[in-house]
Amino acid sequence: METTLIILKPDAVQRGLMGRIISRFEEKGLQIVGAKLMQISKELAATHYKDHQGKPFYNGLVGFMTSAPVLVLAIRGVGAIAISRNMMGATFGSKAAPGSIRGDFGVSNSFNLIHGSDSPEAAARELSLFFKAGEVLDFERRIDTWVYDFGGGKPE
């Protein structure tokens, strides 16, 4: 099982899309194991987006991410990182395929609704930035036997 960080960005929160987006992850079979509505500080945004420092869009990105509340989620499942990124769609809403979150809800190339970790290493780093010890939970879901095939001894 992988756990990934998902951020519903200020535009998703302001547009009232949180419930619709969370529903997509749950309907897919992924498990929400952490959630926090928060205002990101400039310091946290700078740390989170440190790989983009010096790029032309960096200041605008930090300004956007700190402009209004966000919803941070820890989402778990087999292949959760790749599944979540596929569900998000292409980075720019204008280029995202219908059926993806960005394709269905976004048209802007600046406001793209959602962030998702792009690797297990990034997920571990990002989750530790937004969640303290004990805030990402481990709990059994009875439905997992209907989400995953455990016939071979491990979920698939």
pLDDT by residue (tens digit) across 48-105?
A: 999 999 999 999 999 999 999 999 999 999 999 999 999 999 999 999 999 999 999 9
> 54: exposed, middle or buried (C-beta count within 10 Å: 0-12, 13-18, 19+)?
exposed
Task: Name all domains of the chain by residue range, CATH numbers in brackets.
Answer: 2-139 (3.30.70.141)
The pLDDT of residue 29: 97
Q: Which residues pair with 114 in a beta bridge?
A: 8
Task: Provide the annotated active-site residues.
Answer: 115
Q: Is 94 helix (H, G, I), strand (E, B) or coil?
A: coil
The pLDDT of residue 119: 97
Dihedral over alpha carbons 6, 57, 10, 29 (to 10 degrees):
-20
pLDDT by residue (tens digit) across 29-39?
A: 999 999 999 99
The pLDDT of residue 34: 98
In the sheet that holds 114-116, the strands lie side by side as: 31-38, 70-77, 2-8, 114-116
The pLDDT of residue 143: 93
- Is the pLDDT at 110 greater than 90? The verdict is no
The pLDDT of residue 153: 87
pTM of the model: 0.94
